[in-house]
Structure formats: C-alpha cells, structure tokens
Amino acid sequence: MLSVHTSPLDQPGTGDAGGMNVYMVELSRELAALGIEVEIFTRATSGTREPVCELAPGVLVRHVDAGPYEGLSKEELPAQLCAFTHGVMQIWAGHHPGYFDVVHSHYWLSGHVGWLASQRWGVPLVHAMHTMAKVKNAALAAGDTPEPAARVIGETQIVRAADRLIANTTEEAAQLVRYYDADPPRTAVVHPGVNLTRFTPGAGRAAARARLGLPREAFVPLFAGRIQPLKAPDILLYAVRELLDADPSLRSRLVVPIVGGPSGSGLARPERMQKLAARLGVADLVRFHPPVGQDALADWYRAANVLVMPSYSESFGLVAAEAQACGTPVVAAAVGGLPVVVRDGVTGFLIEGHDPVHYADALRRFAERPELSEALGGAAALHARRFGWSATATDTLAVYREALAARAPARQRARAWSRGHG
C-alpha cells in the first residue's frame, strides 16, 4: 500500500489525517487476518519514528525519507514524489523478484508512485481516490480554495493507468465515470467499514457523559472531524443560533462539543470557529476539544444525542458510520456516500443543501423529543453492523484477485520472453 501524504500511524483529526488513515489501518489488519501480508509505504514526517514499524502482525509501515520532516503542506508534496518513489524502489530492490503481488495506492499523490511501481514490478495497480478534485470543486464551501488543475490532471492519468479503481459507493463509482471517464468494468464498489468491536453502544449515554464530564440531562449535538470549510462545522454553530432564537430556554441545557483540529484550508484561519462562536453569542455553549484516539472518540459518540455532519463533500462518511455503531443518530448533508451510511428517517435525517435553518429544524426534533435519540439510535446501531471491516477486506481481496487474473496472460508472456532470452 502507498500513502504519500499521511501515515496510518497519525492521529485522525489532526493535519491531513482522517478517514483515510482509519481505512488503511483497519483494512490492513483485516487483510492480514486473511493471510495477506501488507507493507504500507508513507512519507517520513518525524525523525523519532523507526524506519519500519509493525502496525499489527503481518502489517509493516515503512517511513520513506522524501523532503523535510516538517513544514511541507500537501500542496507542496508533488515536488517530493520523485524522492519518495526512489525510496520505495530502493526498498523493493532488497526483496526477491516477485515479492509484491499488488500495489494499492490511496489518494492521487500515491497513485502516481503506484503507477510507476506497477509498471516497474509488472503487478496490478489498484487505486482508491478517497476524494476527487472535480467532485470537491463542484461543491465548494463559500470561501474555500479550489483544488488545483495539476491534481485534476494527475487524477485523470491515474484513472487511465489503474488496473482497478475502488469506489466507496455506487455514487462515487458513477462520479469516476462521469467526471474522469473511468471504465465501468474496471471500477469496483467496496464499502469502507466500522470497527464493530470498538464502536458499540457500550454502557450507554449516561456512563459516557460521566466519563467526559458532560451534564447528564444536557442536549448534546456533536461535531467530530477535521476543522475545515469542506466539513462545514460552522453550519452547526449557525444552527445552534437558530435554535436559541426560536427557543431561548434551550440555552440552559445545550452543550455543543466540536472534537477535532484544523486541517486543509482551515489551517489558514485556525481560530475561525472560536471567533464565529463568539460572534454568534454561543461561545459559552461550545466546547472545543482537540482530536482524540479511537476509544475516546467512541465515548464522544455515545455521549451525544445526535452527530451533526454538514459536509459539502464526503466520499463515504466514516464518522457517521462510527457514530451510528455507537447508537447515536446522525443529521447529515445528503452528499456523496452519506445517503448510503444514513437511512433518512430511520437512523437519522438527511438534509438537502446547507441552510442552517434546516439543520436547526432537525435538531429541534431531538431537543423536543428526547426519546427520538433512543429510537433512531437503536436502528442506527443495527444498520451500522452491515459495515464491518471484515467484509471490506474480503471484497477488496476479490478486487485484487480480479486484477491479478486480468494481468495473468501478460505476466505469463513476460516470463516466457525472459526464459527465452535469459
């Protein structure tokens, strides 16, 4: 596996680490459980980490030196792809011929390294976009920065070069075809998963609130994720203001946790959300909390009455799936993969557009009817069980085998040529 811009060992919710990091960690572990050895190559961003770390039995993470450890933004990483590729090739040269069977690249930067590795090693390239420039640019938040043309070109090249593309949902597969002219037979849909051992209802909301120091009777709408315009945490703050304007009595029992750190274009204005909360007069209700580990994140989900996910674009929506697995309903934008993850009216509510008034209307239903969180939360926990990582790994392995089978005739011809000219 290749992940140039973020390590699977990074804390999700910080910098560029997010759902993709969770995806690689969980998928790799499940593949290893199926007997597939996995090596993940990522750019070294710290001198304190060992060059090779064991993530789990059968899963190694290799940190490749490519550019300075710190100070490089994601936009500057294309200039380091040559150095990163060189590092990958050096490690590969230490293995016996045919050591790697498949290259699985994540995000477009890794796709370019994977493209070269695939050609050099004579193995299939399986690529997961995770997000796409054309899709993001078609649904930009106000004031957000468009993805550059270089990324669009790079993604187009990878789509043409990959033996197989993995899409999170049928909608994402359709976007690959619509925006990038992907070949449908080479595009497979594999849903990401949820760690159903970690993300469970547990002992319930009261116990989680006690551990987190939250009031037992509070109404708690939660935002969890990276703080950037794409994820739209500001919509939640505007919706809270709408709630209070309609019913000022809610102020006495409203607590609004925002769990996560600035990321992407949000790094340019890291205090934007705090300033917005003050300007809207809700700063006393909002609790900003830095990113937390997965076990602690599960407690935040359990403690909330509802998770709010007003993103402008989501290839899947792991946060929504995790919250539902913990028995917490979701109010989410009807974008990307979220309509797959959230069953409207059953496990939460899907909102068309990003008008805070509509989000406030949905939240008001939970505030006025506490039993609604319990009813929809129970259905949410059941629904989330269909997204286990073991199924993701099994389906991904099937994609690898299809790619290998399609490559087999060419590999046989190459071996025959090599024997005849050896």
Q: Which two tokens stand for residue 335?
A: 């974008």
The C-alpha atoms of residue 234 and residue 227 are separated, in whole angstroms, by 9
Which stretches of the chain score pLDDT less than 50?
A: 266, 268, 417-418
Closest to 255 measured CA to CA, from 202, 200, 208? 208
> How far apart are the C-alpha atoms of 118 and 191, rounded to whole Å?
24
Domain spans of the chain, in order of start: 2-193+389-420, 205-386
CATH assignment of 2-193+389-420, given 3.30.1360.120, 3.10.350.10, 3.40.50.2000, 3.30.300.30? Answer: 3.40.50.2000
**Would you list which residues are annotated within the binding site for Mg(2+)?**
301-302, 304, 328
Q: Find the Cα–Cα–Cα–Cα dihedral 196, 168, 14, 67, rounded to 10°.
A: 130
Q: How far apart are the first and last CA of the chain?
A: 31
Residues with Cβ within 8 Å of residue 150, at least 6 apart in sequence: 78
- Give the pLDDT of residue 97: 86
pLDDT at residue 182, rounded to an integer:
98
Residue list, annotated binding site: 5, 11-12, 16-21, 74, 107, 131, 151, 226, 231, 292, 301-302, 304, 314, 322, 328
With beta carbons less than 8 A apart as the criterion, state whether 287 and 296 touch.
Answer: no
Taking only the tens place, the pLDDT of each residue in 150-172 is: 999 999 999 999 999 999 999 99
Which of 344, 341, 330, 334 is CA-nearest to residue 387? 341
Position 360 scores a pLDDT of: 98
Report the distance separating Cα 300 and Cα 370, nearest Å.
18
Positions at the binding site for UDP-N-acetyl-alpha-D-glucosamine:
11-12, 19, 226, 231, 292, 314, 322
Provide CB contacts within 8 A for 314, sequence distance 6+.
Answer: 333, 335, 336, 337, 338
**According to the model, what pLDDT value does residue 71 have?**
74
Beta strands across the sheet bearing 52-56: 52-56, 59-64, 38-43, 2-3, 103-106, 125-128, 164-167, 187-189
Between the alpha carbon of residue 55 and those of residues 39, 60, 90, the distances in Å are 10, 6, 21
**pLDDT tens per residue across span 333-366:** 999 999 999 999 999 999 999 999 999 999 999 9
Backbone angles phi, psi at 218, to 5 degrees: -70, 155
Q: Do 2-193+389-420 and 205-386 show the same overall fold? A: yes
Rounded distance between C-alpha atoms, residue 270 and residue 276, angstroms: 11
Bridge partners for 333 per DSSP: 351
Q: Strands 330-333 and 59-64: what pairing?
A: unpaired
Query: Which CATH number is 205-386 given?
Result: 3.40.50.2000
Task: Please give the C-alpha separations between residue 343 and each of 227, 315, 329, 384, in angstroms, as whole numbers.
Answer: 25, 16, 10, 10
Per-residue pLDDT, 269:
58
pLDDT at 73: 79
